[in-house]
């Protein structure tokens, strides 16, 4: 792995059993992502974007081939090691925000830091910094049910970024948002990418997101059909 | 520590569902402590009363004496050995002579035990001093149960018939000189206490006794042929067995109550795991291992019981203290229960009792919470993140 390579995917195949047979979601993918990239996997539904994101995020394993993330071969990681990789180095942003409903904004953002056993003072500072990045310092005590969709997604971004991970995986982050909120969210992520040099990989078919991408990887039927740099 | 912190947040966040479970558990906790406290209190009170009224520091029985076999009474008397006479004079032993008799209150016939006791004895709370004095009739004291059953009052005369040592029947009038209230049926039910000298005279058993009651502070180390020492372990065994049976019987009720509460906790856990799949997926994505999530859900369930202990203490401690001061009034019928039981039982709670009950509830809730949580370890994270039922 070269120094700036953060993800290296070789001959990646992912099959899912369906009935008596199987469905091939990813079919021989070879890709590399470097540090600080702002890339997107683009394609229609069923093209394999989310599956690839799940494998990079060590939430799923390849059927064939390898996916090496930050030096860890995903297929060979134990549950514990995969969890450690996610805990220390990866951030996730989901289409439906996946905020913990009974927690306040502060507690939601604080959650990843609790898993890292940081001290209360360090946690507090890091959470407040993250909330400044996403402009939600006035919503510290609100619960997700009291926030708009855009605000929820900003909380999710703060939660993904609070531990300053090397790689953030965002699955359709704007799918539930209106245009104004989408742009707001994307501008925030672009800024964080530039300021913190965090690598972002998106899975999207939203044109609003695609406009912001510095690298667009088009998938169709589980295969890379185009890989464009801006 | 993180699991506790997160579990606490989740529980508080779950709102009414949590408080309903906690409320039920707290209620059961208080109820169980109260019940066992009552049994402890009864035990303690019964032992104190039996020692004070009936058994003193122990009894020395004539070897044929069997309180459960009235036919042995004819042969269960013997002259008091010389070695015990000194202790009787010192007040360390009180001889009691027992014989069967019949009384005829208001023309009815009633079998009783006629017990002769030293009028100056101090080993029992029995008001035997009332028996002292010159009476033409046989002076007698009886307990409230006997007085009620035979409809006798102080000053009433009642005919008593008995048999002497040779089996010859004789009869005389007895006068009730005192009625005493005791919580020990063995001294009140179907018994008439008269001066021992009078009974010896009536039965022609001079210097004889059936049993000797030792003073509470006195231990008889002697050994006399024909006499057997019965200590507290022996004399209290029946009452303790009875309380033990009551404890076991009562436990069944609490096992059922606990099962219902545990069902509620189990149900809450199952529902939680199904409803919170997306949350579980999110935990996994953020780096929690499956075993950590299982632990989180188990702690969450177990914390119901910890909250129940904390919240139960708020009404429970003042209530249980109030009850231990005020006591629990027993129904009037309990007098004829056949065991030493007071009109009012004052519960006694030991630290061991409270800790044991709390520990049982916490451990049971933890196990019940763990069982459904194991399902998490088989969940597929990518499906869980989407909230898909698995």
For residue A223, the domain's CATH number is: 3.40.50.300
Q: B285, A92: Cβ pair inside 8 Å?
A: yes
Q: Which of A87, A90, A94 sits opposite B385 (nearest CB)?
A: A94
pLDDT at B264: 81
pLDDT band at A1 (very low <50, low <70, confident <90, very high): very low
pLDDT band at A67 (very low <50, low <70, confident <90, very high): very high
Chain B CA closest to residue A84: B287
Domain that holds residue B166: 59-230
Task: Report the DSSP beta bridge partners of residue B127.
Answer: none
Distance CA A73, CA A58 (A): 9
pLDDT at B332: 61
Q: B2, A92: Cβ pair inside 8 Å?
A: no
Per-residue model confidence as pLDDT tens for chain B (390 residues): 677 888 888 888 778 888 888 898 899 889 889 988 888 888 888 888 889 998 988 999 999 999 888 888 888 999 999 888 888 988 899 999 999 999 999 888 999 999 999 999 989 999 999 999 888 999 999 998 889 888 999 999 999 999 998 889 999 999 999 999 888 888 888 899 999 999 999 999 999 999 999 998 877 777 888 999 999 999 989 888 887 888 788 788 878 888 888 888 888 888 888 888 888 999 999 999 989 999 998 998 888 889 999 999 999 999 999 998 998 887 765 555 666 667 788 898 889 889 988 898 899 889 988 888 888 888 888 888 887 766
Please count the helices (runs of H) and the strands (runs of E) in chain B. 12, 13
Distance CA B186, CA B199 (A): 19
Distance CA B227, CA B210 (A): 9
Q: How many residues does chain A have?
A: 230
A8 pLDDT above the threshold of 90: yes
**Are B78 and B212 within one domain?**
yes
pLDDT at B384: 86
Element (H, E) at A68: strand A64-69
Closest CA to B120 of B99, B98, B93: B93
**Are B63 and B210 within one domain?**
yes
Residues of A in contact with B294 (CB under 8 A): none
List the 96-125 stretch of A: residues with Cβ below 8 A of B. 96, 98, 100-103, 107, 111-112, 114-115, 117
pLDDT band at A129 (very low <50, low <70, confident <90, very high): very high
Contact A122, A202 (CB under 8 A): no
Q: Torsion over CA of B304, B307, B313 and B316, rounded to 10 degrees?
A: -30
Last residue of a domain, one of B196, B230, B264: B230
Q: Does the beta carbon of A154 lie under 8 angstroms from any beta carbon of chain B?
A: no
**Are B47 and B67 within one domain?**
no
Residues of A in contact with B290 (CB under 8 A): 79, 83
Distance CA B35, CA B250 (A): 8
**Cα–chain center distance at B343:** 13
pLDDT at A202: 94
Distance CA A170, CA A152 (A): 14
For residue A207, how many other CB atoms are within 10 A of its CB? 10
Q: A101, B289: Cβ pair inside 8 Å?
A: no
Q: What is the pLDDT of residues A22-31, one digit of tens each?
A: 999 999 999 9
pLDDT at B284: 92
Last residue of a domain, one of B230, B255, B286: B230
**Are B266 and B173 within one domain?**
no
**Are B28 and B72 within one domain?**
no
pLDDT at B338: 60
Last residue of a domain, one of B197, B230, B263: B230
- Burial (CB count <10 Å: 0-12, 13-18, 19+), residue A37: buried
pLDDT at B272: 80
Q: In what order do the strands lie in the sheet with A72-73?
A: A21-34, A5-18, A64-69, A72-73
Tally of domains within chain B: 2
**Are B133 and B191 within one domain?**
yes
pLDDT at A24: 93
**Are B219 and B72 within one domain?**
yes
Residue B213: strand, helix, or coil: strand
pLDDT at A163: 92
Distance CA A209, CA A172 (A): 9
pLDDT at B61: 94
Element (H, E) at B62: strand B59-62
A124 pLDDT above the threshold of 80: yes
Q: What is the ipTM of this complex?
A: 0.92
- As a whole number, the mean pLDDT across chain A is 92
pLDDT at A119: 92
Domain that holds residue A189: 5-229
Closest CA to B349 of B22, B27, B48, B29: B29
pLDDT at B239: 82
DSSP conformational letter for B215: P
- At A110, list the tokens: 């604080």
Tally of domains within chain A: 1
Distance CA A111, CA A95 (A): 19
Q: How far is B5 from chain A (nearest CA, A)?
A: 9
**Are B137 and B156 within one domain?**
yes
pLDDT at A2: 42
């Amino acid at each position: 792995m070269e120094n700036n390579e953060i993800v290296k995917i070789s001959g990646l195949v992912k099959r899912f059993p369906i009935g008596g047979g199987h469905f091939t979601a990813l079919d021989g993918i070879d890709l590399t992502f470097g540090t600080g990239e702002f890339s997107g996997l683009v394609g229609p539904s069923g093209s394999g974007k989310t599956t690839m994101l799940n494998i990079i995020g060590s939430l799923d394993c390849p059927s064939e081939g390898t996916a090496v993330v930050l030096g860890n071969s995903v297929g060979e990681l134990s549950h514990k090691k995969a969890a450690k990789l996610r805990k220390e180095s990866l951030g996730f942003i989901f289409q439906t925000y996946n905020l913990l409903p009974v927690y306040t904004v502060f507690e939601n953002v604080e959650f990843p830091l609790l898993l890292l056993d940081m001290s209360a003072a360090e946690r507090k500072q890091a959470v407040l910094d993250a909330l400044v990045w996403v402009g939600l310092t006035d919503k510290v005590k609100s619960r997700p049910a009291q926030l708009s969709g855009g605000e929820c997604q900003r909380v999710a971004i703060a939660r993904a970024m609070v531990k300053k991970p090397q790689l953030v995986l965002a699955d359709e982050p704007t799918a539930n948002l209106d245009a104004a909120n989408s742009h707001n969210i994307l501008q925030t992520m672009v800024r964080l990418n530039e300021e913190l040099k965090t690598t972002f990989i998106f899975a999207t078919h939203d044109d609003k997101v695609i406009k912001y991408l510095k690298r667009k990887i088009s998938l169709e039927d589980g295969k890379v059909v185009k890989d464009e740099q801006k | 520590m993180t699991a506790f912190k997160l579990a606490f947040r989740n529980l508080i966040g779950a709102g009414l569902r949590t408080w309903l479970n906690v409320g039920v558990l707290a209620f059961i906790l208080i109820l169980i402590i109260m019940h066992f406290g009552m049994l402890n209190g009864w035990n303690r009170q019964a032992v104190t009363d039996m020692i004070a009224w009936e058994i003193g520091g122990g009894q020395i029985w004539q070897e044929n004496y069997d309180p459960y076999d009235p036919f042995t009474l004819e042969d269960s008397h013997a002259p008091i050995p010389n070695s015990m006479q000194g202790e009787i004079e010192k007040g360390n032993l009180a001889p009691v002579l027992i014989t069967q008799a019949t009384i005829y209150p208001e023309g009815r016939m009633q079998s009783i035990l006629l017990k002769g006791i030293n009028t100056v004895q101090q080993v029992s709370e029995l008001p035997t001093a009332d028996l002292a004095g010159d009476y033409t009739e046989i002076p007698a004291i009886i307990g409230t149960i006997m007085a009620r059953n035979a409809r006798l009052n102080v000053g009433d005369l009642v005919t008593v018939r008995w048999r002497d040592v040779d089996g010859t029947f004789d009869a005389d009038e007895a006068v009730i000189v005192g009625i005493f209230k005791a919580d020990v049926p063995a001294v009140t039910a179907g018994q008439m206490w008269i001066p021992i000298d009078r009974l010896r005279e009536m039965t022609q058993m001079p210097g004889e006794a059936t049993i000797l009651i030792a003073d509470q502070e006195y231990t008889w180390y002697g050994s006399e042929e024909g006499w057997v020492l019965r200590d507290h372990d022996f004399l209290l065994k029946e009452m303790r067995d009875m309380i033990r049976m009551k404890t076991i019987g009562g436990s069944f009720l609490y096992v059922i109550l606990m099962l219902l509460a545990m069902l509620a906790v189990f149900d809450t856990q199952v529902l939680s795991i199904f409803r919170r799949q997306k949350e579980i997926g999110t935990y996994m994505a953020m780096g929690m291992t499956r075993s950590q999530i299982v632990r989180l859900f188990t702690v969450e369930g177990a914390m119901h019981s910890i909250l129940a202990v904390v919240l139960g203490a708020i009404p429970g401690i003042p209530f249980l203290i109030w009850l231990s001061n005020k006591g629990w009034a027993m129904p009037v019928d309990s007098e004829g229960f056949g065991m030493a039981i007071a009109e009012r039982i004052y519960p006694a709670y030991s630290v061991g009792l409270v800790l044991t009950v709390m520990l049982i509830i916490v451990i049971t809730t933890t196990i019940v919470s763990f069982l459904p949580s194991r399902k998490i370890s088989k969940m597929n994270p990518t499906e869980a993140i989407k909230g898909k039922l698995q």
